Amino acid sequence: MKKNILITGVNGQVGTKLYEFLNEISGFNLVASDLGDNQFDFPIYEVLDVTNRNDVKAVVKKYAIDEIYHLAAILSSAGEQNNQLAWEVNMNGLMNVLCIARDCAVKRLFYPSSIAVFGGPFKNGIAHQELLSTPTTMYGINKLAGENLCNYFNTKFNLDIRSLRYPGIIGSENNAGGG
């Protein structure tokens, strides 16, 4: 039986490539979602605001979602311009996705983090393993808090959550989004 996967923030840098990769592997029913229009003609696309818990829950139930790749976020540059919006989308959106994943028995959640959790500058340009997390941007603060929130949901509710701290990412098909 094919897994049903929801990708939030699919129109972004990582989302477009992730969708393409998962689609090539096949074996998955992919549900693409983002705030705006279906920019890349995804076969199944939902306009979805992750800050609206009821809408997220409706999509998860409608497609019997097994896994969520939660990529929806306000990145660094935009987050510095509007701290409140960054918190609303990055933290309240994540909380909505976590609660719905728990309540709807989603099997796995992927939450990308960022090198922004470290702040900077780095000694010799390297973020060493023992470097303390002292973020200097709203995005970095949100990502560090998000990691801790995911850890809580994993420990408290046994929710399978995977995370990776990405460095800055740019892609060939999308404009840089200020991350």
Catalytic residues: 139
Please tell me whether the peptide bond between 112 and the residue prior to it is cis, using omega within 30 degrees of 0: no
DSSP letter string over 123-176? GGG---TT------SHHHHHHHHHHHHHHHHHHHH---EEEEEE-----SSS--
Question: Is residue 35 classed as helix, strand or coil in its secondary structure?
Answer: coil
Q: Are the C-beta atoms of 56 and 70 separated by less than 8 Å?
A: no
DSSP letters along 58-116, please? HHHHHTT-SEEEE-----HHHHHH-HHHHHIIIIIHHHHHHHHHHHTT-SEEEEEEEGG
